[in-house]
Structure 1
Amino acid sequence: MKKLTFVFTLILGVAVSSIANGPSKDKEVKIKTSAVCEMCKERIEKNLTLSKGISEAVLNLEDKVVTVKYNPKKTDEAQIRKVITETGYDADNLVCSQKAHDKLPECCQKTSVSHAH
């Protein structure tokens, strides 16, 4: 009987905790990048989605804006921009890491002429 009471109490505690926390409250941010081509898009999206707290990243190459959905309890907009700059691309008014930019394929660098891969 003690085990049954313990199990019931445990289940009730988990249920109340889940209700109190509610559904995920992801935020969304749009960041202008210096992406040039499809390879840039793949690189930025991959690095962002591998980062803690980011659930989705989609880059529109026409306007070079990446839309990022993230958990504000695990990351913030400054950290998201930092991931982009450390990947080798500008993020809004932040200039990319020169070291990371120099490691990009030539076609992905800012001086490159835009083209499709």
Structure 2
Amino acid sequence: MKTLKIWMLSLVLTGLASFSFAQGGGKAEEVKIKTSAVCDMCKATIEKGLAYEKGVNKATLDVDSKVLTVSFNGQKTSVEKLRKAVNELGYDADDTKATPRAYDRLDGCCKKDAVH
């Protein structure tokens, strides 16, 4: 009986280890994207918006340099998709321009021509 319990416990632990390894998936990649963000509200909008993107592990915007650093799983998303996600939040991303409709919905302080 004791052997059966040990065997069951090792089976469960092996299953959990396999599951967490499978969830880890591919190797994490990192990209730096120059944005048109101008304030802390922009920072919150971009970081929160990218948190919902498939494959994104972490997104951090440095407001002073306007550089967004994204850690992501390259098997689940791509740099192009990340730039598009930033554009759809209303911000320029490198050479790609913000979606006009999303840009129009930004608060006044988040627009490129806002005085800070």
Question: TM-score normalized by structure 2?
Answer: 0.80
SS at match of 1:57: strand
Superposed, 1:67-106 pairs within 5 Å as 67-106=69-108
Separation (CA, whole Å) in 2 of partners of 1:62 and 1:20: 38
Q: 1:17 to 1:40 in 2, by over 3 A?
A: closer
Shift of 1:63: 0.6
Q: 1:16 to 1:98 in 2, by over 3 A?
A: closer
Sequence identity percentage: 47
Shift of 1:29: 0.1
SS at match of 1:55: strand
**Residue type of the alignment partner of 2:79:** E
Structure 2, gaps ≥5 residues long? none
Match of 1:44 in 2: 46
Q: 1:10 to 1:101 in 2, by over 3 A?
A: same
Q: CA RMSD in A?
A: 2.5
Shift of 1:16: 7.2
Structure 1 runs, 4 residues or longer, greater than 4 Å off: 7-24
Deviates more, 1:27-36 or 1:16-25: 16-25
Structure 1, gaps ≥5 residues long? none
Q: 1:76 to 1:9 in 2, by over 3 A?
A: same
Shift of 1:34: 0.2
Question: TM-score normalized by structure 1?
Answer: 0.79
Shift of 1:70: 0.2
SS at match of 2:93: coil
Q: 1:10 to 1:49 in 2, by over 3 A?
A: same
